[in-house]
């Protein structure tokens, strides 16, 4: 049985840990609310842009746009979005596991022939793939210090430029899609060539647009903006999911520390009671000897 001093030290240590995890949970919750508001504000605008672009593209004939063209795949770029910090449960482990499985199952032929490049956004993915010897051509670890459209669009522009020049024939993005604070879904999305999502099989009212200067010019202007917006959504979802995962992990850690404290206090009382009982027995035994 441990001594009273050992149990007291253990109680103090666990109590200190609980205070830290509780504080981290509150910080993560605050950041989560702020980041979640950004997604809520972005979604209506992004959805409408996608809808307009899809309607215009499907109603236009004989338009050749590089970002939509399917071509023979010679080289592939994989963008892996993780976080810079840990203490967020299985957030980073899920991303790394999903990206490894995707490479082994779908991109192994390109990896084996040195036709696979990787861009990492977040230190955790960057450290893993550099250590494993993959061809990591760039790491954007500071982008999460201030997630905004301008910083993200510059990364998207660089990727789009490489695709347009023919350096890559397909670009995939692996990220965590934010569903709610407790649930984030590891998602693999084809960024380029751009593919529209299938519409639900229900009648929709066809919108009529007044366009200047021409429909083709509007489409060519909308596409780069839409792609940058889509990439921004990837980053925002991952950023919000990270804080949701951290808040959930710290909440569980705080609860576990609370339960452990209860057990330690019970142990402390038992040890203390045993020590008192022992002292009483020794006193009684000494008194009997004197008699």
Lowest mean pLDDT among 27-31, 37-41, 151-155, 203-207: 203-207
- Cβ–Cβ < 8 Å for 101, 258: no
Which is it for the CA torsion 206, 212, 213, 219, positive or negative?
negative
pLDDT at res. 282: 77
Can you give the residue ranges of every domain in the chain? 4-24+250-290, 32-248
φ/ψ of 174, rounded to 5, equals -115, 125
pLDDT at res. 218: 81
Q: Which helix (H) or strand (E) holds 240?
A: helix 215-290
DSSP conformational letter for 117: E
| Cβ-based burial of 232 (10 A; exposed 0-12, middle 13-18, buried ≥19) | buried
pLDDT at res. 56: 82
pLDDT tens by residue, 165-214: 999 999 999 999 998 888 899 999 999 999 887 655 545 656 676 777 77
pLDDT tens by residue, 107-163: 999 999 999 999 999 999 999 999 999 999 999 999 988 889 999 999 999 999 999
Q: 19 vs 28, 182, 240, CA distance in Å? A: 14, 22, 24
Q: How far apart are CA 95 and CA 145, in angstroms?
A: 20
As separate numbers, helices (DSSP H) first and strands (DSSP E) second, the chain gives 6, 5
User: Mean of the per-residue pLDDT values for the chain?
Assistant: 89
Q: How would DSSP label each residue in 10-50?
A: HHHHHHHHHHHHHHHHHHHHHHHHHHHHHHHHHHHHHHHHH
Q: How far apart are CA 27 and CA 145, in angstroms?
A: 15
Lowest mean pLDDT among 90-94, 214-218, 233-237, 257-261: 214-218
CATH superfamily ID and name for 32-248: ATP synthase, F1 complex, gamma subunit (3.40.1380.10)
Closest CA to 163 of 117, 230, 209, 222: 117
Closest CA to 219 of 70, 61, 71: 61
Write the class of the CATH domain 4-24+250-290.
Answer: mainly alpha
Q: 182 vs 32, 47, 55, 154, CA distance in Å? A: 11, 24, 35, 31
pTM, two decimal places: 0.86
């Amino acid at each position: 049985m441990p001594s009273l001093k050992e149990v007291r030290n253990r109680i103090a240590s666990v109590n200190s840990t609980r205070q830290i995890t509780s504080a981290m949970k509150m910080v993560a919750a605050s950041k989560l609310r702020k980041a979640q508001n950004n997604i809520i504000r972005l979604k209506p605008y992004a959805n409408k842009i996608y809808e307009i672009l899809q309607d215009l593209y499907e109603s236009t004939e004989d338009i050749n746009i590089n970002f939509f063209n399917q071509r023979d795949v010679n080289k592939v770029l994989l963008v892996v979005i993780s976080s810079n910090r840990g203490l967020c449960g299985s957030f980073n482990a899920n991303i790394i596991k999903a990206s490894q499985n995707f490479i082994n199952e779908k991109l192994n032929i390109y990896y084996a022939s040195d036709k696979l490049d990787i861009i990492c956004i977040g230190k955790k993915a960057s450290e893993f793939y550099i250590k494993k010897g993959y061809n990591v051509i760039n790491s954007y670890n500071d982008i999460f210090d201030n997630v905004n459209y301008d910083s993200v669009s510059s990364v998207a522009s660089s990727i789009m430029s490489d695709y347009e020049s023919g350096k890559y024939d397909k670009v995939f993005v692996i990220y965590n899609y934010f569903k709610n604070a407790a649930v984030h879904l590891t998602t693999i999305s084809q960024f380029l060539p751009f593919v529209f999502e299938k519409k639900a099989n229900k009648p929709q009212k066809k919108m009529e647009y007044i366009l200047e200067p021409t429909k083709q010019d509007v489409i060519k202007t909308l596409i780069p903006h839409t792609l940058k917006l889509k990439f921004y959504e990837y980053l925002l979802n991952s950023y919000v999911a990270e804080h949701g995962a951290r808040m959930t992990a710290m909440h569980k850690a705080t609860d576990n520390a609370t339960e452990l404290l209860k057990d330690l206090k019970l142990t402390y009382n038992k040890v203390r009671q045993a020590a008192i009982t022992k002292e009483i027995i020794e006193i009684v035994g000494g008194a009997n000897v004197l008699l």
